[in-house]
Amino acid sequence: MSAMIKIAIAALVAGTVQAVPYAQNAGPASGDRASMTTAAMASSTSSSMEEYTTPPSTTSGSTGSETTGFPVFGTSTANPDDLKQLAKDLQSEVTQVDRLQRLLSVDNIGKDPLTDPDQVHDVLAFDFKNAPAGGDGGRILVANEDNFPLLVGEGIAGAVAFLEPCGMNSPHTHPRATEFLTVVEGELVTGFVLENNFFKDAAAKIDALAFPFNTTLKQFEATIFPQGSIHFQFNPTCDRAIFSAALNSADPGTSQIAQNFFTLDDQIVNITLGAANSINPSDVDMFRANLPPNLVRAVDSCKATCGM
């Protein structure tokens, strides 16, 4: 990633989300910014990321390629259009019993129940090993009504992510859901910031619009990201990490902050970033064309520690 792109992303997060200090038990801050910011994750100019890294594993190698826990990724054999059509058909049924009876019946007619174990498994099981690559940093797959008709009418969705060493699920929001995340393997640095004026006085002391909270989660620890909050997940180690997430909406939605910001009108981007952060407006198109994908290898210091 070029230095100019790093500056753009850092400026976006710092200028729009404001500072995100790393503090597991965060309280009112002093006038100085805390050492860790979300912007630092996107910029090699900060040395504070060293506190997130661990020495390379003696058993996994420098890239973590021999670590356990990641599945053999495959491609789904299900036809996405067929699954969507089935989901639409199920929505016409009034009750949950009617939906499940139809879904678990021969030819989805609702008369004769499925008895073949493989067919029953195909209906009841969702395979997260079909997660597509989300960039250099890992893979993520969301199960919802469109690709898993068993969820029709249940009001929930779920996700599993596989983060490579130093990989990050970049800052994003779910506009229609709260996320409940559990670390299945490895370690994650996570954080969120709510709307303007959250802990207003403390936020003002760090020149922010809202006070942010970050924490590190170990294996089998969990947390939530409130609906609409800007949040991220970062693997600070040289080993792979896996997390699962439940979302309390059938249609949670996802909006990546930096990536979507640069789709706005150039003048809006220029006013927000150019004047405030001394970024040349002529670079906006380059930033837009070269922004990293959702899952990115985020921190140069982490990559250097892990020998990448």
Q: Flag the least confident range among 30-39, 105-114, 191-200.
A: 30-39
SS3 content of the chain, % helix, strand, coil (to 5): 30, 20, 50
pLDDT over 50 at 213, yes or no: yes
Residue 287 pLDDT grade (very low, low, confident, very high; cuts 50, 70, 90): low
Counting every residue, how long is the chain? Answer: 308
pLDDT over 70 at 17, yes or no: no
Q: Give the three-state DSSP class for 255.
A: strand
In this prediction, residue 298 carries a pLDDT of: 54
Tokens in use for 141? 């797959």
Tokens in use for 118? 């493989």
**More confident: 52 or 150:** 150
Residue 133 pLDDT grade (very low, low, confident, very high; cuts 50, 70, 90): confident
In the chain, what is the greatest distance between 2 CA atoms, to the nearest angstrom? 69
Residue range 108-129, pLDDT digits in tens: 999 999 999 999 999 999 999 9
Separate counts of helices (H) and strands (E) for the chain = 11, 11
The domains of the chain are located at 3-74+129-305, 80-124
In this prediction, residue 301 carries a pLDDT of: 75
Which of 208, 241, 206, 212 minimizes the C-alpha distance to 226? 212
**105: β partners:** 113
Strands 241-247 and 213-217: unpaired
Residue 267 pLDDT grade (very low, low, confident, very high; cuts 50, 70, 90): confident
In this prediction, residue 11 carries a pLDDT of: 39
pLDDT over 60 at 277, yes or no: no
In this prediction, residue 82 carries a pLDDT of: 94
Tokens in use for 42? 């996107």
Residue 43 pLDDT grade (very low, low, confident, very high; cuts 50, 70, 90): very low
Tokens in use for 39? 């912007």
In this prediction, residue 160 carries a pLDDT of: 96
Tokens in use for 225? 């990201």
Q: Which residues of 204-238 are buried (b: 16+ CB within 10 A; e: fewer)?
A: eebebbbbbbbbbbeeeeebebebbbbbbbbbbbb
Tokens in use for 175? 């506009």
| 4-22 mean pLDDT | 37
CATH architecture for residues 3-74+129-305:
Sandwich (2.60)
| 260-283 mean pLDDT | 72
In this prediction, residue 269 carries a pLDDT of: 81
pLDDT over 90 at 154, yes or no: yes
CB atoms within 10 A of CB 247: 26
Angstrom CA distances, 218 to 31, 126, 130, 186, 257, stand at 31, 25, 25, 7, 26
Predicted model pTM: 0.75
Residue range 67-77, pLDDT digits in tens: 445 788 888 87
Residue 271 pLDDT grade (very low, low, confident, very high; cuts 50, 70, 90): confident
**More confident: 133 or 157:** 157
Residue 38 pLDDT grade (very low, low, confident, very high; cuts 50, 70, 90): very low
In this prediction, residue 289 carries a pLDDT of: 58
| 215-231 mean pLDDT | 97
Cβ atoms 221, 183 nearer than 8 A? yes
| 7-30 mean pLDDT | 35
